[in-house]
Amino acid sequence: MSTFTVLILMYVCLAGVGVFLDYIFAKKNPQYPPGPRGLPLVGNIRDIPFVKPWLTFAEWGKKYGDISHASVLGMHIFVLNSAKTAVEMLDKKSSIYSDRPVVPMSGELMGYGQTLPYLRYGEHFRSFRKNFHRALGSRAALVVYQPIEEMETRRFLKRVLAKPDQLQAHIRHTTGAIILRICYGYEVKENNDPLVDIAERTLDEFSRHAYIGEFMVDFLPSLAKVPEWFPGAGFKRIARECRVTVEEMAAIPYKFVKDQMVAGIASKSFSSDLLKDRILTAEEDHIVKWSALSLFSAGADTTVSAIYSFFLAMTLFPDVQKKAQAEIDAVVGPDRLPSFADRTSLPYIEALVKEVLRWNVVIPTVDHSVTEDDIHDGYHIPKGSVIIPNIWFMLNDPQTYVNPSEFNPERFLAKDGKEPETDPRTLCFGFGRRLCPGLHLADASIWLTAAMSLAVFGVSKVVENGVEITPEIDPSSGLISHPKPFKCSIEARSEKASTLIQQDT
């Protein structure tokens, strides 16, 4: 046998061994889902979107299917573009899909790692959730706070009537006032309230800097050790300034509650309920303090976005507004404002709020992390991977919602023998054990603002120099998405409506 023949046989044998080893490896390590092709070593670092990432992720879904895969510097990322897949993974297997990835910038450096949205899955996380469930776990639990919401929303109507061109500021003020009362029993001043100022700075900084991957330190955690003066380390200064604001927002209102309790004059609130009749350890005190901040930070900015979206929709879709007002006029009448007691009698308003939550998605994507290796639909999901449900696409999926770009509250009403379409609240507040614990509070605030505002205000497009101005639908990027600032005309519907608004609260 010639040397050449021996070499050929050896090659064939080695090739056969290679195929066999590949087969064994494939069985033990199932393939990843399809996704954009990456570069050696750095992976998909050029493919990860930072501006409105949900749009790019939706394109991935069309190209690669319900689950797509990317990697950046060894970090595996799985994007879910299907509500069914998200439920199967994040709800049904929540025991392993409820972790959060470590986010060096906003979590560790900015200080948000001490709040519930950033907590790793474990005992601390469960303690926080227990606190939330005790105070806000159901609509029934929120009944005690309904008078606060109704009073502050009446004040909102007065502010809008007086200065309708400052709508967004009024929404922020009122939402902050409600959440500060519920969290801490703190009643804000009408103007120049110091705590409102800190709160607005906290929310603004979080909205601008909290998206994972916006800073390279999120992919290279070792950069966190670089000194602030080092070229390119400007993120360290941003993080330091933001951390000061976060620490103030956690400490100042919490001290207010404690001082009020010592004086015996504390109002009922989330914090006072957790503090009363208890001697807390240092760890328990820390959990109550940061639980309260978690409630505030999670609820305030998201609710602002949803309510602002409601006014944008009323500006753009006058026919919807007229139907909603006709229902209020028929059920509530002109002599009083709607209240929570009317909620079950106003199905169109209920459907309208659902459509607002679906149409302009407040949190388009959210990050989970998996604590164990998993196989889903034959795909390998390694421990520690980042899982991103694309909530925006799920709420705009034409297979779930007919003509999703159309604003149509009637999709949520049973009509002509057709079942209502999927309630967006089953998707927009998250999944599994990471479901937003303040969802009932947010839902109630949006509903009440919509019902009261429609009862007394007419909302329409602004006319400038004889030209009607149509607002642009262009939601912002970032962890929390807001409608692009817009102009609208807001006027009392009648003299009687104006009188209702001016009544003492």
| Residues in binding site for heme | 436
Q: How many CB atoms lie within 10 A of CB 116?
A: 26
Q: How many CB atoms lie within 10 A of CB 55?
A: 14
- DSSP letter string over 36-80? ---BTTTBTTTT---SSHHHHHHHHHHHH-SEEEEEETTEEEEEE
Annotated binding-site members: 436
Question: Do 412 and 423 contact (CB within 8 A), yes or no?
Answer: yes
Sequence-ordered strand ranges (E) for 242-400: 368-369, 374-376, 379-381, 386-389
User: 240: number of CA atoms within 13 Å, CB side?
Assistant: 9
Pairwise CA distance, residues 99 & 111, whole Å: 18
> What are 200's two structure tokens?
């607005």
> What are 397's two structure tokens?
């999926």
User: 401: number of CA atoms within 13 Å, CB side?
Assistant: 27
Contacts of 142 (CB under 8 A, 6+ apart): 136, 440, 441, 444
Pairwise CA distance, residues 391 & 357, whole Å: 11
CA distance between the termini of the chain: 103
Q: Which long-range contacts (CB under 8 A, 24 or more apart) does 253-256 make?
A: 253/180, 253/183, 253/184, 253/186, 253/195, 253/292, 253/296, 254/184, 254/288, 254/289, 254/292, 254/293, 256/184, 256/186, 256/195
Q: For 159, phi and psi rounded to 5 degrees?
A: -65, -45
Nearest to 441 by CA among 142, 166, 120: 142
| Cα dihedral: 268, 269, 272, 277 (round 10) | 50
Pairwise CA distance, residues 103 & 242, whole Å: 15
The distance of Cα 295 from the centroid of its chain, to the nearest Å, equals 12
In the numeric block, the tokens 């330091």 are attached to 240
Measured CA angle at 201 (ends 242, 149), to 5 deg: 130
> What are 471's two structure tokens?
């607002």
Three-class HEC string of 421-487: CCCCHHHHCCCHHHCCCCHHHHHHHHHHHHHHHHHHEEEECEEECCEEECCCCCCCCCCCCCCCCCC
> What are 277's two structure tokens?
């009749």
